[in-house]
Chains A and B, each alone.
Chain A
Amino acid sequence: MSQLAAVESPRWVRIGLIPLLQLVLALAVSSLVVLMIGEDPIRAFKIMIHGAISTEFGGLSNTLYYATNFIFTGLAVAVAFHAGLFNIGGEGQAYVAGLAVALVCLTLDSTLNVWFIAPLVVIGCAAFGALWGVIPGYLQAKRGSHIVVTTIMFNFIATALMSYALVVWISPLGGNSTDSRYWASDAVIPKVHELAPSLGFEASFSLLSPVLLVALACCALVWILIWRTRLGFAIRTVGSNPNAATYAGINANRVIIITMAISGALAGMMAFNEAYAAQGRLILNFTSGFGFMGIAVALMGRNHPFGIVLAALLFGALYQGGTELQFEIPSISPQMVLVIQGLVVFFTGALDRLIREPVEAVFQRRAIANANAAVAGGN
């Protein structure tokens, strides 16, 4: 035993049981809110679950559509987290990336078809998002300004910039006062329900498009980046121990800047799904909090791409279920999902220790008891 300084609780406890308990706690408190407004939480959750997974009215598809957005913004937050950076700017990064969608589509959608436009839009979204992320990254690395504050400020600067761009430049080219015109239909990725007949199945209307596959590919890429590349190794070193990074010859400033570019690019990809594929035009405030949702997703998913997919599905289901809920129980606003989001962030993030410490203590005690028994047996 003397070689060991501490004993860790099992992996399934750390990344499975504990987040699950935290989620249960968040949902329990949300149920209290439902009770408070005089409705039955069990019934509400049933309706939400049904609404989220039913295939009849595109419920499941829309859940996946929301999840697509959340995967992008969740990955953005997670990549930055690995470098010890808290990127709250996903909202702004995604919003500015919407400008790239408009630039590409407004100039080229009459001349090029989807096969050429889509890659250009991806590049544009990633580039604009990266730009909006890299500036705070640069300021953190070179000027020491705190990334949290800078990214918050950049969200608001993005809001002002985009509202100016939309009102002054983009909406005059067609569309109404605060939105762009629709992109030409053969320049936009078709949605799943549009593709379905040619693939031999029927699907009801939803905003889901094959961009989901791009999101899943990004998950795989992020996993490779973080755990299989030298850059990922450097990112995690900088995030966990900047001093050790210096001694390992890792330039922390460079890593911070690169990480924020990647993070911003991932956030920007949300515009690819939302402003390009799903809505087919640029709408004022189209990000509508999806960027912030990335924080909850990353926390819940423990900054791991696989966890992020699960968390994104969960929140996608809550979003979709929430919209369904308002038809069945009109007194519950769809904004209820924000309450759940807040509680999840609170219990998985800020109050992590509340659940983690007692649960881990139980398993540690068991592990130590086992080890002692083993030692005694060995003697």
Chain B
Amino acid sequence: MDMFDQLFSLLGASIRMATPLIFAAMAGIYSERSGIVDIGLEGKMLFGAFAAAVVSFETGNPFFGLLGGIAICILLSLMHGFASVKMRGDQVISGLAVNFLASGLTVTLGHAWYSQGGLTPALTNAQRFTGITLPGAEWLGENIPVIGPLYEQVISGHNILVYVAFGVVALTYWVLFNTRFGLRLRATGEEPNAVDSAGISVAWVRYRAVIIAGVLCGFAGTYLSIAQNAAFQREMTSGRGYIALAAVIFGKWHPRGALAACLLFGFLQALETRVQNVEIPMIGELPSQLFSAIPYIITVVLLAGFIGKAIAPKAVGVPYVKER
């Protein structure tokens, strides 16, 4: 049973690691499917994490924290949207600006408000999203072999945001492929001329897309600071926004594919902390750095077309200008 225990705890940890990636990747899908490159996932997430921690600490209510995180991320999204849509600016540069700004502002404000070198004060459990034990988890875990512990350790026991993340994937899939908004969103990312000539405002579709991306980044950031952890720390996203971007590409801009990529990357992160000093037969000790590099390496390999081919939405990154 020991082996199962280890496996299940690894899987449970994978899901927890994957959760912020999932939110951010879905954010990336909405944005990029509408034709707006979102390098700024990292910065939005970071600022969202900060805002959630601050609001939750000040109000004592994690739901307010979530709203705070979402609100800030929407603001950053609108900034990115304004630069990309209205000003027809370079979307990569705008995204980078968001990231720089978030790195700087979170520490600057945190430092000024709490004087802890950019950290926010530790949160009590009441100020956080904590694990939920699903009905029957304990009983099943003790009485049913394998399936029971699987339910108890892998499926049950996560905080609410983890379950929301999976709901968001299903919702995203449904929105993209079963609603009018989804049809228009996908069309905008491929051929904005077609959308415009059909009498739909390209700008409005894109603004809505980046706002949704903001909301989802707010969830991602909130999860990091007040669910997975109990405070905001400097640079606590540590590249997760970029990993989410990699997952979007790896998942070929499809929610199902991106979910799979996020779970894989989450699994690798969970593994990373567990393989240190572990001898693997035949291979020896694997460097933990390898695990942190794998998502990036396979994204490069995929983009280079060595395994399959990731084809981005055709109009992604291109500001829409009416043709003459």
Contacts and interface: CB of A to CB of B under 8 A. Distances in A.
Query: Do A and B have CB atoms closer than 8 angstroms in the complex?
Result: yes
Interface of A: 33, 36-38, 86, 88, 139, 143-146, 148-150, 152-154, 156-157, 159-161, 163-164, 168, 289, 292, 295-296, 299, 330-333, 335-343, 345-346, 349-354
A145 B97 contact: no
B104 A345 contact: no
B103 interface: yes
A292 B89 contact: no
Contacts of A296: 100
A150 B300 contact: yes
B105 interface: yes
Nearest to B95: A350
B83 interface: yes
B290 A160 contact: yes
A128 to B, nearest CB: 17
Contacts of A143: 303-306
Contacts of A353: 87-89
A331 B118 CA distance: 11
A37 B105 contact: no
A159 B296 CA distance: 11
A349 B90 contact: yes
Interface in B64-121: 79-80, 82-84, 87-94, 96-105, 107-109, 111-113, 115, 117-118
Q: Name the residue in A88, A345, A352 with the highest tally of chain B Cβ atoms < 10 Å from its Cβ.
A: A345
B100 A160 contact: no
Interface-centre pick from B109, B111, B113 (highest chain A CB count, 10 A) = B111
Contacts of A336: 104, 108
B293 A346 contact: no
A295 to B, nearest CB: 6
A345 B83 CA distance: 12
Interface of B: 37, 39, 79-80, 82-84, 87-94, 96-105, 107-109, 111-113, 115, 117-118, 239, 242, 245-246, 249, 287, 289-290, 292-293, 296-297, 299-300, 303-306, 312
Contacts of B297: 153, 157
Contact of A156 (B82, B90, B293): B293
14 contacts: A146-B312, A148-B37, A150-B300, A153-B297, A163-B289, A295-B93, A296-B100, A333-B111, A336-B108, A339-B104, A339-B108, A346-B79, A349-B96, A352-B87
B108 A335 contact: yes
Of the candidates B117, B118, B287, the one having the most CB atoms from chain A within 10 angstroms of its own CB is B287
A156 B111 CA distance: 27
Contacts, number: 164
Contacts of A37: 108-109, 112-113
Contacts of B107: 333, 335, 338
A30 B191 CA distance: 38
Contacts of B239: 156
Contacts of B289: 160-161, 163-164
A294 to B, nearest CB: 11
Nearest to B246: A153
Nearest to B287: A164
B258 to A, nearest CB: 15
Nearest to B117: A333
Given A156-B296, A161-B293, A38 B94 contact: no
B304 A349 contact: no
B307 to A, nearest CB: 12
A295 B242 contact: no
A183 B114 CA distance: 39
B278 to A, nearest CB: 15
Contacts of A148: 37, 39, 92
Contacts of A152: 39, 242, 245
A143 B82 CA distance: 33
Contact of A153 (B39, B108, B300): B300
A350 B93 contact: yes
A333 B290 CA distance: 34
Nearest to A38: B112
Contact of A145 (B91, B245, B305): B305
Q: Which 6 A-B pairs have the closest CB atoms?
A: A338-B104, A342-B100, A342-B101, A350-B94, A339-B104, A145-B303
A352 B105 contact: no
Contact of A352 (B84, B89, B112): B89
A333 B112 contact: yes
A149 B98 contact: no
B111 A139 contact: no
Contacts of A292: 96, 100
B89 A350 contact: yes
A146 B303 contact: yes
Contacts of B83: 346, 350-351
A333 B104 CA distance: 9
B305 to A, nearest CB: 5
